[in-house]
Structure formats: C-alpha cells, structure tokens
Amino acid sequence: MAQYVPNAMEWSERALQVRAFVFDFWAEQRRGPNLRDVYEGTGLSRRDIVQAYKELQTGIVVVVDQDSPNCDIIKIPPYSAFPSQVALYVDDSFHSFIGCAHEAVAVSKMPHFAGKEVRLESYCACCLEPITFWSREFEVTRYEPIEPLVHVAAQVWDWVHDDMKSMCDHTNFVLDREHGERYERQIGRRGIYFTMDQVHAYVEPAVGTRGWDYHWPSQSMSPERLIGRLQELGIDLTPWDI
C-alpha cells in the first residue's frame, strides 16, 4: 500500500541510482530500460535492481510488475510504457506515451526538454476527437481545437491504494463538461473537473524537483490531505459527496 506511507522515506543509494538512470535512459532512448540496460548503466545486480524498483514503487515513483521475474516497468511518471491516452512529441517526432492528463501538463519541465517546445497529442475521453497542445518549460503555448478540461473519475480514496496506474488511467481530457458528463454515463461513474490552470497549480510542487534533484523525496498518498489541497484549488468535489 502506498497510502499513508511515512513521508519521506530514506532512499537507498541503489534506489537513487536506478531512478536517475531510468529517467535519463528514457529521455535519451525514448523507451524504458530492461534489466540488462539498467545493469550496464549502473553496475547493479539483478537483485539490487529489482529491490530498488520495489522501493521506488512504495515511494510512488514507479509502477512495476512485481510478479514478473523481469520486474517490468509499467510507468515512471511522466512516462508510460504502454499506449496511454497522451503521446509526447519532441522535435516533431514521437517520443513517449505519457502517464495521464496531469502528467501531460508537467512533462515539458523535465530537464531533458529544457528550452524545447513539445507537443502533446490526446483525445476527448467521450468522443475520441483529438485534443492537442504545445508546451515549453511548464507553460502551455497553444491548444487545438480548444482548451480542454481534465476529468478525474476515480475518487481520492482510491488513489494509489496499491500503485498509481489506476489513478492515472482515470485522469483524462474532455472537450467540455457536456462531453465529460457523457463520458461519465459511458463508464458508469462520476468525476471531478480541473481547468488547465488548476492542473498547473496542482502539479507545480513536483515540477522543478522531479528529474532535477538527485535526492528528491518520496511521496505519500493521504486522501484527507489531498482533499484539502483540491478544495484550496477551488475544485468542486460534490460529485464524490465531499
């Protein structure tokens, strides 16, 4: 469980090594590393790499398949190893899939993209019509066709009760509230809405440290604290009876 894990964990040196290597490798190679890649880049043994991944998952940095002997990386935000709802383009060529709509707003601030304008291609969760925007160092420069909303269909009590994949899967773009409400009927659950400005404010605390600071701390998921933060941002939580 990653909810209520004491914050912050004291990272082992192997966890710090693996985390830094995976971020750098993914940015440069446009894919996640396998165990041999990590071994060649860090010199760590299979056991140390796998245990580092488990430690990083507990600290809400990575999602891995702990039942696989290869401890496959599923995601390490902002990156996703599988085809997600957002694609990142750098220098007009595909770079990676991105974990969710929130991560799409944050990714341009990663150190590997400093000074670059990146393109994020997604779609409305309701009708699958394209939604595209461009961002440079955490500032969105333009949208096509319009500025969307971000719809979150999993309530905070279910965020990261095991890992963060489900939370990310439930965080999607919609063209507007009408499309969001139609999407809710399609999936049979209600959600909350972020404006893009609210997303910017919500993810800002992690921007500028993740990927930049070798020692950036672990995270912990406290639903009560998170509810307070969302209320501070002016997000309507009544769809979740809050």
- pLDDT tens, position by position, 207-217: 889 999 999 99
Could you tell me if residue 67 is inside a domain? Answer: no
Return the amino acid letter for 15: A
The total domain count for the chain is 1
Condensed to tens digits (0 to 9), the pLDDT of residues 67-97 reads: 999 999 999 999 999 999 999 999 999 999 9
Could you tell me if residue 68 is inside a domain? Answer: no
Buried b (16+ CB within 10 A) or exposed e, 209-229: ebbeeeebebbbbebeeebee
Confidence of residue 7 (pLDDT cuts 50, 70, 90): low
Q: Considering only CA atoms, which of 113, 62, 63, 71 is closest in space to residue 91?
A: 113
Could you tell me if residue 101 is inside a domain? Answer: yes
Chain mean pLDDT for the chain: 95
Could you tell me if residue 23 is inside a domain? Answer: no
> Across residues 171-200, what is the average pLDDT?
98
Report whether pLDDT(1) > 70. Answer: no
Condensed to tens digits (0 to 9), the pLDDT of residues 161-185 reads: 888 999 999 999 999 999 999 999 9
Residue 162, token pair as written in the block:
């095991």
Q: Residue 3: what pLDDT?
A: 80
CA-based torsion, 96, 97, 102, 103: positive or negative: negative
Could you tell me if residue 118 is inside a domain? Answer: yes
Q: What is the CATH number of the domain that holds 145?
A: 3.30.450.410
Is 133 in contact with 105 (CB distance < 8 Å)? Answer: no
Q: Domain span at residue 203?
A: 77-240
Could you tell me if residue 13 is inside a domain? Answer: no
Could you tell me if residue 120 is inside a domain? Answer: yes
